[in-house]
Amino acid sequence: MRKLILLSFAIFIASISNTFAYQSSTLRPSMGGYAGALVNVNAYCNYIGFQCYFDVSAGGSAVAYESGGTGTLIGEHIYNLYNSNTYSNTIYNYQYWGTIQMYMYGASTDYATLFWD
């Protein structure tokens, strides 16, 4: 009986965690330089998004787009002292996403994140 209760509880927790699960990949430049990554989503997603943050004392740029198929731009931001140091964009469209290309230029305290579900 004890094993059955533990098994039921484990299945319940697993089902709850899958409900709120999403995936992400974060990119950080090394010591004030460039960074690039290919992210293999390769799935149908309810949404896909891109966000980035830049240290307020430095400038930089970040971009994410699908590198195959449609070439859809997910997000792009150029930071300087005249605009916001944060950016976020989400595409809410159930569709297939293949390989996503991410690039970033900035300080080592900057980052860009691709997230999807």
Average pLDDT estimate for 34-45: 91
- Within-domain flag for 109: yes
The sign of the torsion formed by the CA atoms of 63, 75, 52, 17 equals: negative
- Within-domain flag for 32: yes
User: 2-14: per-residue pLDDT in tens?
Assistant: 655 544 544 544 4
User: 67 or 15: whose pLDDT is higher?
Assistant: 67
Residue type, 80: N
Domains held by the chain: number = 1
Q: Report pLDDT for 12.
A: 45
d(CA 84, CA 78): 9
Average pLDDT estimate for 101-110: 90
Expressed as residue numbers, the domain containing 108 is 22-116
Helix (H) or strand (E) segment spanning residue 72: none
- Closest by Cα among 45, 23, 21, 43 to 93: 45
- Within-domain flag for 60: yes
Q: Report pLDDT for 32.
A: 66
Question: Has residue 89 got a pLDDT over 90?
Answer: yes
- Within-domain flag for 83: yes
What CATH number is attached to the domain comprising 53? 2.60.120.380
Q: Is 69 helix (H, G, I), strand (E, B) or coil?
A: coil
The sign of the torsion formed by the CA atoms of 40, 42, 45, 47 equals: positive
Average pLDDT estimate for 13-34: 67
d(CA 37, CA 24): 13
- Closest by Cα among 50, 55, 45 to 21: 45
- Within-domain flag for 42: yes
